[in-house]
Amino acid sequence: MKPDTFLRAAIGLLMIAFVYVIYNSFTERVVSVGDRAPEFSVTADNGKQLSLKDFGGNLLVLNFWATWCPPCIEEMPSLDRFQRRMASDGVVVLGISVDKNEKQYRDFLARARVSFLTARDPESRINSEYGTFKYPETYVISRSGRVLRKFIGEKAWDEEAMLSDIRSLL
């Protein structure tokens, strides 16, 4: 009787684990304000390998974008002015493109000449971890790794209201 009971318990536990794995694979994680920001690793266009930990001393503005996204392109100049204006306050912008076409991505950056860090994640691994599927989508992440703000859609980053809001988080 004992081996039979053990076998039934083991099968039961395996079934529970199986159901959990299936459920977990069908539910998409969406990061919200107050959540811990998911870890990531990406090679920036300057050749540096970056992770969330690399921004620990700064407020990170993590922007997901693409060259095929008109609101993303329209947002770039204000985000660039924001970075230049807020850099001395300890704010760092990292733009992660989900572009699959590297040439199109590089050509755009050559024309745009943005001053903030950029990287390309053509497999969309990082934005998937954040649950991002609308572009542009931006997360403001605290020095301790918490999401303080989440913006979906184009924003005017260099307007005084936005600058004041971000300064209040420092």
**6 within some domain:** no
Q: Which domain holds residue 87?
A: 30-167
**39 within some domain:** yes
**71 within some domain:** yes
CATH code, 112: 3.40.30.10
Helix (H, G, I), strand (E, B) or coil at 124: coil
**8 within some domain:** no
- What per-residue confidence (pLDDT) applies to 1? 55
Tell me the pTM.
0.82
**1 within some domain:** no
Total count of domains within the chain: 1
Distance, in Å, from the CA atom of 51 to the CA atom of 142, rounded to the nearest integer, reads 14
| pLDDT (tens place) for every residue of the chain, 170 residues total | 577 787 787 787 888 877 766 665 555 578 889 899 999 999 999 999 999 999 888 999 999 999 999 999 999 999 999 999 999 999 999 999 999 999 999 999 999 999 999 999 999 999 999 998 889 999 999 999 999 999 999 999 999 999 999 999 99
Torsion 110-45-88-75 (CA) sign: positive
**23 within some domain:** no
